[in-house]
Each structure stands twice: as C-alpha cells, then as structure tokens.
Chains A and B, each alone.
Chain A
Amino acid sequence: MNLDDLDIGTTLDFKLHFSVEKISEYLVATGDGSDMWIRESIVPPPLVSAGILAELMKQVKLPANLMHTGQEQIAYSAVPANSDLLASVTLAQYSRRRGAIIATFEANLVDVTQVLLFRAKINGLVPLELS
C-alpha cells in the first residue's frame, strides 16, 4: 500500500510490544544514559513514537523523499515494557500545497484494556518536484 492509496480518515491498527532488550538497544543508540527506563521497565516516549512510525512504514510504503517535519506526542500514562499494546494510526491530513504534499498521521496507543496511554501526531512533507 502506498501513501497515495490512503483516504483521509483511513485508520490502520497494529500491535506493538517493546521488550526491555529493545529499550536497552534504544538507549545505546541515542546516547541516553538514564537507568530509569530499565529500572522502572517503561518505554521512553520517543521510542514509542519510533515504534509507531516503524509499524506504519511496514504497512504503508512512504515516499523515499518524505521529510519528517513535525512531531507531537502526549503521554497519558507510562508505557510499560513487555506489554501487548494496540496502536491506531489515522491519516488525518493529506493535501497538495505550494509544490508539496503535506501528510499528517495521528496515532493513539492503548493497552489491552483499551486504556489510552499515548498519542502522537506525525507531520510529513513530500516535495513534488522530487517525487
């Protein structure tokens, strides 16, 4: 599926799971020296966003020249490691403006009891002259 195939309002659902090993690797890869994440067994918020983005990229072939222009994320509760999580990602905006495609995805992350843990908004831009 390509970005062009999605209509505004299309929602993709997928499962997410962050292991403690994954968190450890993430901390090394970002130079994050805090031991809190492992001690408390919680997922760093940017890793939650990166995990959502990775799953989105598995389901939707995003243009190679897509620029990630903005990011919002809101934590409603700590995201636990080693837990089954459910993400719903909706294409909230898709428009052509000033020589570029502007796309916005909005994501909600809930636990297995449907409690909202985390929200993210991902803004992207694709220059049309290069696409």
Chain B
Amino acid sequence: MDKYPDHLPTITLSISQALVDKYSEVAEDHNPIHKDTKAAYEGPFGKPVAHGMLVLSTASQIMTTAFGKRWAEKGSLKVRWKSPTAIPSNICTSAQLKSASEEQIKYQIECKDKDDILLFSGTATLHLDD
C-alpha cells in the first residue's frame, strides 16, 4: 500500500450554464433538462441539472493525472449518481486508496458540491496485469 498515495490530488470544476451548453454540443446531448427551460423545471429534478457524464469526467481526470496513459489503457470505473448537479455549482472530486495488490489498485471516488452534497461515488480501478 506504501507504493501508492492514500489520496490523489482533487479535481475541482465550476459547472456553469456556458460549460453545460458546450458539453451538450460535444456530447450531442441536447436534453432540455440541461437548460433553463420549462421542461427542466417540470422534469424529474425540478430544475436544470448538469449532464452526469460531465460531472463524471472529473473522476477520469483524477486518475489520468495520477497514472497517465495507463488509465486509458487499463482503467475501469464504476459509479452511482447520488444527487443531481445543479447549474451553477462548484464540484470537487476526490480519490482515496481502497486497496492495492500486484494485480490492481482501487480508489474510492467521491464527488461533492460546495454544500458537501454527495453527487456521485464509486470505485476507480487500475489493472496492473498485462
């Protein structure tokens, strides 16, 4: 366990409507719940929310920062969303070492907003065997 840090550097992201709009274009996901629309207020969250995959991108950023290309080659991620991410929001994603062996390293990943509300949690695993 000594070989790997207990905590990886956190990633913060300001979720603005402009960022969400940009993500909608790139991800080709134009669901109106991601904009200040009537559909968003009448939708399942009662307000405009960010794309789950936009918020999740921070988990991958943490692992890439720590493990580089190996994350893209041998990384796996398993998460559940716990709360919707309002627009605007400031989010912070952290990773804590869960286990390490010769085969794999596992980090517990959590993403919270500035009010400490858990947005998603899960596990990021880096497979070390070839």
Contacts and interface: CB of A to CB of B under 8 A. Distances in A.
Q: In terms of DSSP, what is the predominant structure of the interface of chain B?
A: helix
Contact of A75 (B13, B58, B75): B75
Contact of B77 (A34, A50, A71, A127): A71
B53 A44 contact: no
Interface string A83-103: 000000000000000000000
A25 to B, nearest CB: 5
B26 A71 contact: no
A130 B44 contact: yes
B56 A46 contact: yes
Contact of A78 (B22, B32, B73, B76): B73
Interface stretch (A6-14, A62-70, A107-115): A62-70
Contacts, number: 118
B53 A70 contact: no
Given A29-B19, A64-B32, A70 B60 contact: no
B7 interface: no
Interface of B: 13-14, 19, 22-23, 25-29, 31-33, 39, 43-44, 52-54, 56-61, 64-65, 68-69, 71-81
Interface of A: 22, 25-26, 28-32, 34, 36, 40, 42-47, 49-51, 53-54, 57-58, 64-65, 67-79, 123, 127, 130
